[in-house]
Structure formats: C-alpha cells, structure tokens
Amino acid sequence: MVGLTARLKYYGVWTLTEGACILTGLGYNGVDPSTGRVSWDRLSNIDPWGVELAQNARGYLASWNINTSNWLRNYVYLRVTPRGKKPGFRASLITFGTSALWHGFHPGYYMSFVFASFVQTVAKNYRRYLRPFFLNPATGLPTQSKRFYDILSLFVTQLTFSFATAPFLVLSFSGSLQVWSRMYFYPFFGIAISMVIFNSPVKGLLKQALDQRQAKTGVKMVRSASQDSLASRDPILGLSSDPQRDFSEIMSEMKTEMSKKA
C-alpha cells in the first residue's frame, strides 16, 4: 500500500501535466489514418493501468515515466550495445545507473535502480525461455494454461517492484536496508536462483525444448525487428539506418507534390 500511495502522486502530477500540454496543443500526435481519430498522446508520460497490472518488468517500466524511459532506451540502453547484438545485463546496469544519477545522489536511488537492472535481466530470460511454453507454437496465441502464468507473473512482478522501489522512497542507505530486512530480502533469493539457472545448462535445455516444440509444428516463426535492437528499421538516436532510402522517399514525395501543383 505504501508503494501504491507513493505512485498516486505521480499519476496525478503527470496526468495534470499531460492535460496542460494538450490544452496548449503540444500533445497533438497526428491523425490515425484507419479511424480518422485525432491523437493527443505525444507527451503522455504515465499509464497507471499498465503499471498496476504489469505482468513483467518490460510492461512495468514501459508504462512508468514513459518519455524518460524512451530517452534512456534510445540514448543509453541501445547506444552501449554493439550493433547487431541484443542488449544484456551490462546495458541494463549502465542504463539504470544513468537513471539513478539523473535522480540525484541519495543511496536509495542507486539501491533501487541497480537492483532493478538485475530484475529486468532475469525477467527478460523468463519471458524469452519460459513464456513461449504457454503460447501455441504454430499461431503464437495464448494456450488455456497461460492465464495461470499471467496471474503468477502479475503477482511476482508487483511484489518485486514494491520491494525494489522501497529505497527510492526511503533514500538513506541504513533506512533502505532496514526496510528490506523487514521484508526478509525475499526477492534477492529469487533473483539469485534465477540468475544461476539461466547461467547454467538449464538455459540450453529450455532453448532446445522450445526449438523441438516449434519444429513439430512445421511452422517457422519469424521474429520481427526487436525494439531492443539497432537492426530495427525505426530510427535510433535520431539517425536513420538507411539515409539513402529516406532521401529517395523524400525526393519522390516532393516530385509528387510538384506534379499535383503543376
């Protein structure tokens, strides 16, 4: 309840700020071509339901302080990752460390964000190597048993982040340790065991089982470009991955406009 109470003030402030931006026109985000509806979410910074009902670290973090999270992802998380490779623990640790420095110098910030980097890394492994067992390998749709996975994921995610954010509220080192000790450091054990598992042969066995499960369907699942990859077609760090293609598209649009006016 302490965490929820603390989050409510952020929900209120960010929602009021977003409303002010919409009133001034800064929130305008174009028109949806399929529905014709005007979008005003350019400066939306919080998704309360996304936070409170998050089933994994990715969903939780993507719904909280959205614009700052996007900035950190584009300018830190992806930037410290070699092109063509997926971000790992190093990228997560540097990103969360940057966020802690951004907030200030209280020890509680660093305790929360450094621990969150471990949480994100472990959660990513569960999502990559365990979650697919609850999806239909041929269609990618949820199986009947996935509801139980979702409920357990929701429960674990909320408890873990409630623990992780406690030092963010307490700020002092001794006070944060005291709060964590009152909760018996319960997530530390889960994180430690999970990291051992995913750095052992178990990870290879899970991957092998997933590959065999997929092979039985005779359908090859093609992954789209990940948001966590510089190989994505979307511009990263403000730079296009294919400037020549973009230049050609611009010239084509200019010629079309000129021909219409002529």
Catalytic residues: 103
Number of helical (H) and strand (E) elements in the chain, helices listed first = 12, 0
Provide the CB-side half-sphere exposure for 247 (13 A, CA): 5
Burial 155-193 (b: 16+ CB within 10 A, else e): ebbbebbebbbbbbebbeeeebbebbeeeeeebeeebee
Rg (CA), the chain: 22
Residues in the chain: 262
Residue by residue, DSSP assigns 193-235 as HHHHHTTSHHHHHHHHHHHHHHHHHT--PPPPPPTT-TTSSS-
The amino acid that residue 232 corresponds to is: S
CA–CA gap between residue 126 and residue 108 (Å, rounded): 27
CA–CA gap between residue 33 and residue 86 (Å, rounded): 33
Angle between helices 201-217 and 107-129 (to 10 degrees): 40
